[in-house]
Amino acid sequence: MFDVLLLDDEKEMLVGLEKILSSRNNLKVTALMEPQKALNLLEKNKYDLIITDLKMNEFSGIDILKKAKLNNPNANVIIISGYGTIEASVEAIQLGAFDFIEKPFTSKKLFQCIDKALESLIQSENTVEDVDPIIADSGIVYKSQQMKDVIEILKKIAPQKMNVLIIGESGTGKELIARIIHKLSNRDGNPFVPVNCGALPENLFESELFGHERGAFTGAVKTKPGLLEFANLGTFFFDEIGDMSQQLQIKLLRMLEDRRIRRVGGQKEIDIDVRIIAATNKDLEKEVENGNFREDLFYRLNNIQIHIPPLRERVEDIMPLLEHNLRILCDKENKQVKTFSNDAKDLLKSYQWPGNVRELQNMIGRAFYLSTSNIIQKEDLPKYILKDELPISNNILSLQYNDAKEKTITEFETEYLSYHLKKNKGNISKTAIECGLDRRSLHRLIAKYNIIYKE
């Protein structure tokens, strides 16, 4: 049961809204006309949801919002107004309102907004903040059970000496996971050395990895220790190890077996103590079958395997990632807090994110700098994301023809009438004339779709 505080200083509107909300068994509604009484109650009680009108004689909905957030930062506040302006909605969102609804609206739209607010509340209650300061400070952001399971595995394997193989698509954060393992291990304080196996040509890679002696090749004017030596007593991270050449695979295998290396052009073997973490976006077992990756090296690396699911398979992480990265940008640029409109959020949650977290971060940067308002609208998003939006929603496409037709007509009539009622400020006579309807037919349609308006 959720406690809801409903506030509107117009009796007819308050009674209508209370009746609509009371039809839900999971809502316990306290309805008030006096803003001062509401402020007094907010000091004594914690409400899960507050729904308030914006313009009232005694206090404004913004005053109620400020008080609600002061006493209970987790409370969700929905502000309703027949005087909707961009400035008012921006101010409300900046102060922490969950949503801003303009009259006229339908009971369906109101419940959609309420359901989203309650879902957000449930998710925040179910999200356990990681008490491990290393994980909390690592920059990893997650809510999904899949990532919670990954973090639990990291905590178990980090203190061990075993090699780790991280599997995941590009952009899922494999290096971040590797760094967390290093931080949680007893090697923290010693070097963490990352190298991308596809970034350097083979002749340079060998020298960078194992080092070289003076005169080993043209240009080798002095002895240079390799990265593996530098990583001694620490952790070495091979990113995209599936791109490593066969020749280097042989040398890496020898190092893993003997725990010794030999510099290019050198005779002396050097003992090293390095933990190896490797990552790939390839199916290494298939690469082994196809002869592209050594089977013996695969088993040496695959002491423990961690799979990082793509972002499209952990939708619960999308909103926390969006909010976290947007907040970082606002702090960095010393700008007012920005947020995404609900339409933009819905679109971003349904997008497939083929580039995963890296793509999401790049998209946020673009939207942040190009948006002219503190609320990032759907139109501020890249065109390739907007292209994913179907002109007909997926839930309608999944219906049988007659059901889909009826639902489409319902949505059209609701939006059409709401638009004209808003345009005419709730005046029935003007709206009826503009729509080519008589007053009786218009009243019938308003009642049919339970459109809430202010005349």
The reported pLDDT for the residue numbered 128 is 46
Is there a cis peptide before residue 225, judged by omega within 30 degrees of 0? Answer: no
The angle at the Cα of 179, spanning 178 to 181, to the nearest 5 degrees, equals 65
The reported pLDDT for the residue numbered 294 is 95
| Rama region for 453: left / alpha / beta (φ>0; ψ in -120 to 50; rest) | beta
More confident residue, 256 or 71: 256
pLDDT one-digit tens code per residue, 418-437? 878 888 888 888 888 888 88
pLDDT at 129 over 60: no
Which residues have a Cβ under 8 Å from the Cβ of 354 and sit 6 or more positions away? none
80 within 8 A of 101, measured Cβ to Cβ: yes
More confident residue, 230 or 420: 230
Mean pLDDT, residues 408-413: 82
Mean pLDDT, residues 2-7: 90
Runs of H (alpha helix) within 271-381 = 284-289, 295-301, 318-332, 342-350, 356-370
- The closest of 209, 306, 303 to 249, measured between CA atoms, is 209
pTM of the model: 0.65
pLDDT at 266 over 70: yes
Percent pLDDT > 90 in the chain is: 31
pLDDT one-digit tens code per residue, 320-347? 999 888 888 888 887 777 888 888 888 8
Mean pLDDT, residues 374-380: 86
pLDDT at 109 over 80: yes
The reported pLDDT for the residue numbered 125 is 57
Residue 212 pairs in a beta bridge with: 224, 264
3-state class (DSSP) for residue 437: coil
Give the span between the Cα atoms of 91 and 83, in whole angstroms.
Answer: 14
pLDDT at 146 over 70: yes
Query: Which of 28-32, 65-69, 419-423 has maximum average pLDDT?
Result: 28-32
- The closest of 235, 127, 128 to 180, measured between CA atoms, is 235
The reported pLDDT for the residue numbered 132 is 65
314 within 8 A of 146, measured Cβ to Cβ: yes
CA distances from 393 to 217, 288, 346, 407 (A): 63, 43, 12, 11
